[in-house]
Amino acid sequence: MLNSEEVINLEKKFVMQTYNRQPIVISHGKGALVWDLDGKEYIDCFAGIAVNNIGHANPKVALALCYQAQNLIHTSNIYYTKEQAQLAHELTDISRHDRVFFANSGAEANEAAIKLARKFTGKSEIISTINSFHGRTLATVTATGSDKYSEPFKPLPQGFKHVPFGDIKALAEAISDDTAAVIIEAIQGEGGVILPPEGYLKDVESLCDQKDVLFILDEVQTGFGRTGEMFASDLYNIQPDMTTVAKALGGGYPIAALLANERISKGFEIGDHGTTFGGNPLGCAAAIASIEVLKDENLPAKAKELGDYFIDKLAEIADNHQAITQIRGIGLMIGIEIDGNGAEIVDKCREEGVLVNCTAENVIRLTPPLVINKEQIDKVVEVLDKVLS
Ligand SMILES: *Cc1c(COP(=O)(O)O)cnc(C)c1O
């Protein structure tokens, strides 16, 4: 059996070095906890980048995956499967949309949304926001509002514009006769947990309606209970024309979806778009089970309650630490803005048995599984208090 050092050495030798990894090998998890190969326990406030909303090793999802794997793992979209049809029904039931296109990642779901927007409207321009994150494919990395992700990959696809997040006037001015769609994250995640200003998303919705521009809401990170509602569109009471989801959809298993209303869905005709694995039976079975767990265990409501608790506890220690410049968030999507070195805090927390992540250079992001409990939150706050001292 390989030990941690051997695993890390193999990775360094054979895997393309595109990730700045933390120096631990994760072996297994349960609920909000994970263990490394050496048996050290961690409270996971990262959840695989806001993916493991229902917790690690959820027995219902594990069972659904085992059962499905014994029957049918893959067959392609050339045939029907009951798992895909059922999941599509379920997704339209819990969202404000009528139809689904299945993909395998957030970037692919956004790529599909951009293609559908152009196909449906016959227009080319896509407007997104500065500091946003929409994925790493060429179109989505171009929509992503930071040059650092796209600069080395020029020439980029044409027709993308960026405006400041939260600035409705700038958006109104940017819309032209050739604008197909606006794509916006409900809450900027990678950008540092930036909440939309009061009324902003509602204003985006009205503006898009008025100007006959499609409104694509990227809920890849905010979806499936993270913000205290099943979707952030419920939280902000908006009805986008399209919504993209991925991260938490499959309970950790990779699957993604583009959701749209009936009228816009018609923009895609047979042969217009496709993927070999999108909506494969294994991913669909995992997603059906995962949504069932979210609903049965009332996890969106728990995220709201625990998020309020978490933010209150953090506010209590904030007074002791000048390094904390702001605490913000909603539900279990929380950012602690630090005047200092975020990476160092991440390292120290890990040594103390808490996994967190630093995004936008100085924001400690907390996105734990929604099944985390108050004792675990207390422990995380205690560790942060110690580490910041
Ligand atoms: C993670 C993320 C993506 C990209 O998803 P991948 O599965 O990594 O391609 C897109 N949009 C948002 C808001 C994200 O957080």
pLDDT in tens, 30-63: 999 999 999 999 999 999 999 999 999 999 999 9
Q: How do beta strands 242-245 and 214-218 pair?
A: parallel
Average pLDDT over residues 347-373: 97
Pairing of strands 33-36, 41-44: antiparallel
Atom number of ligand 1 nearest to Cα 108: 9
Compute the distance from residue 108 Cα to the ligand 1 centre, in Å: 9
Query: Which residue's CA is the closest to the ligand 1 atom numbered 6?
Result: 106
Q: Is 106 in the pocket of ligand 1 (CB under 6 A)?
A: yes
In order of their start, the domains of the chain are: 4-54+299-388 (3.90.1150.10), 60-296 (3.40.640.10)
- Measured by CA distance, the residue closest to atom 15 of ligand 1 is 221
Q: What is the pLDDT of residues 199-229, one digit of tens each?
A: 999 999 999 999 999 999 999 999 999 999 9
Phi then psi for residue 94, to 5 deg, are: -90, -10
Cα 255 to ligand 1 centroid, rounded to whole Å = 12
The predicted-structure confidence for 102-114, as pLDDT tens digits, reads as follows 999 999 999 999 9
Q: Which residues contact 65 (CB under 8 A, 6 or more apart)?
A: 253, 282, 285, 286, 289
Which of 133, 137, 367 has most ligand 1 atoms within 8 Å of CB, for mutation? 133
Is 101 close to ligand 1, i.e. is its CB under 6 Å away? no
Contact 332, 371 (CB under 8 A): no
Question: How far, in Å, CA of 101 to CA of 117, rounded?
Answer: 13
Distance 135 CA to ligand 1 centre (A): 5
Which of the 8 DSSP states describes residue 194? Answer: B
**pLDDT value of residue 147:** 92
* Residue 135 beta carbon below 6 angstroms from any ligand 1 atom: yes
Helix, strand, coil percent values for the chain (each to nearest 5): 40, 20, 40
Tell me the pLDDT tens digit for each residue of 281-290. 999 999 999 9
Residue 226 backbone zone (phi > 0: left; psi -120 to 50: alpha; other: beta): alpha
> How does pLDDT run across 160-180, given as a tens digit for each residue?
999 999 999 999 999 999 999
pLDDT exceeds cutoff 90 at 241: yes
pLDDT band, very low/low/confident/very high, at 125 (cuts 50, 70, 90): very high
Give me the chain's average pLDDT, please.
97
The position carrying tokens 């069932």 is: 292
pLDDT bracket for residue 1 (50, 70, 90) = confident
**Which residues have a catalytic role annotated?**
133, 218, 247
Short-list 265, 261, 121, CA closest to 180 = 121
Pocket test for ligand 1, best of 190, 227, 242, 357 (most atoms within 8 A of CB): 190
- In ligand 1, which atom is closest to the CA atom of 188? 13
Is any atom of ligand 1 closer than 6 Å to the C-beta of 134?
Answer: yes
Report how far ligand 1's centroid is from the alpha carbon of 134 (Å).
5
What pLDDT is stored for residue 370 in this prediction? 98
pLDDT tens digits for range 4-34: 999 999 999 999 999 999 999 999 999 999 9
